Copies of this chain bind each other. A is one copy, B any other.
Amino acid sequence: MSISRLIEKIKKTGNPTVFGLDPRPEHVPEGIRRKNYALYGNTLKAEAQSFFDFNRGLIDGLCDILPGVKPQSAYYEMLGPDGAVSLRDTICYAKEKGLYVIADVKRNDIGSTAEAYAEAYLGSVTVNGAQYEPYGADSMTVNPYLGSDGIEPFLKKCRERDRSIFVLVKTSNPSSGEFQNKTFEGKALYELVAEKLSEWGKSAPGGGAYSNVGAVIGATYPEEQKRLRAMLPDTYFLVPGYGAQGAGASDVVNAFHEDGLGAVVVSARAIMCAWKKTGKNGDDYIEAARAEALSMKKQIETALAVF
């Protein structure tokens, strides 16, 4: 689905945040995991099934108050092919429940290979006449280091199948400036990427004010966010780094336009692990996550109202 569907859902829920489905075994309540060890033994399959069960609970409990989810592929890949099943099933279930799904895979490669990645996450594959969507996400994250011909296959899927991508511009991690903030002929690398992104966006309109080419801009760098907001008026921002990485509501306001649109903030660990703070055994993980998500919504509302 195009970015305009994400925006619709943001308006409907009044909530500009997506929740990260980044499970690790220690994030999943023991009850869920014990059940699956009993069913499947101490196997990767058991762990992968626990991830899915955990995600399904969160999706059921949060789908009416949040517009979308961002599963982080790394945590599923860590469980081998069983993890891939869990990721695919999670994406499928989230879509069934009306959530916009951004596969956080940060893929990148030369053109012919990028095409395969685009087919995997945003496209479809034909097997002797039968058609399948391998992962079937609405959107995915992409790394820009290889330049335009590594991006073009993803743009093509945005155009042909009305999907969106989010390109890494300024990432949330401490050493993101090592290359991204180096200045080349008067402009930081992240600004050069932003300029190209703006061109890419023109070739993949999103059906409204925003293009289908979004940008990943870390919540941990509010100054860069401000500069990029001005440079990229028609670009939706995906803003990770809220919560566990140290950024709060006041750090994300620069990513938004004055109408409260233009950005979607990510929260993963704070929501997933909210149950660890209630002093119970995790049976309350859905309610704890919902309470945390509502509290985050309020924090961002308050911060946005100020400016």
Contacts and interface: CB of A to CB of B under 8 A. Distances in A.
B177 A147 contact: yes
Interface in A9-60: 22, 24-25, 33, 37, 41-44, 46-47
Contacts of A171: 110, 145-146, 150
A116 interface: yes
Contacts of A22: 113
Given A145-B168, A147-B178, A149-B175, A81 B84 contact: yes
Q: Which of A25, A110, A119, A172 gathers most chain B CB within 10 Å? A: A110
Given A74-B113, A145-B144, A150-B175, A183 B180 contact: no
A80 B127 contact: no
A146 B173 contact: yes
A42 B273 CA distance: 41
Nearest to A241: B110
Contacts of A80: 84, 88, 120, 132, 134-135
A294 interface: no
Chain copies in complex: 2
A9 B11 CA distance: 59
A109 B106 contact: yes
A127 B46 contact: yes
A: interface residue count bin: 35 or more
B185 A182 contact: yes
A295 interface: no
A305 interface: no
A24 B126 CA distance: 12
A117 B143 CA distance: 15
Given A79-B125, A80-B88, A146-B173, 15 more contacts: A22-B113, A25-B127, A43-B132, A46-B128, A47-B125, A74-B120, A75-B113, A78-B116, A78-B125, A81-B84, A110-B171, A110-B240, A147-B180, A150-B173, A182-B185
Interface of A: 22, 24-25, 33, 37, 41-44, 46-47, 72, 74-75, 77-81, 83-85, 87-88, 106-111, 113-114, 116-117, 119-121, 125, 127-130, 132, 134-135, 143-150, 168, 171-180, 182-185, 189, 192-193, 196, 240, 245
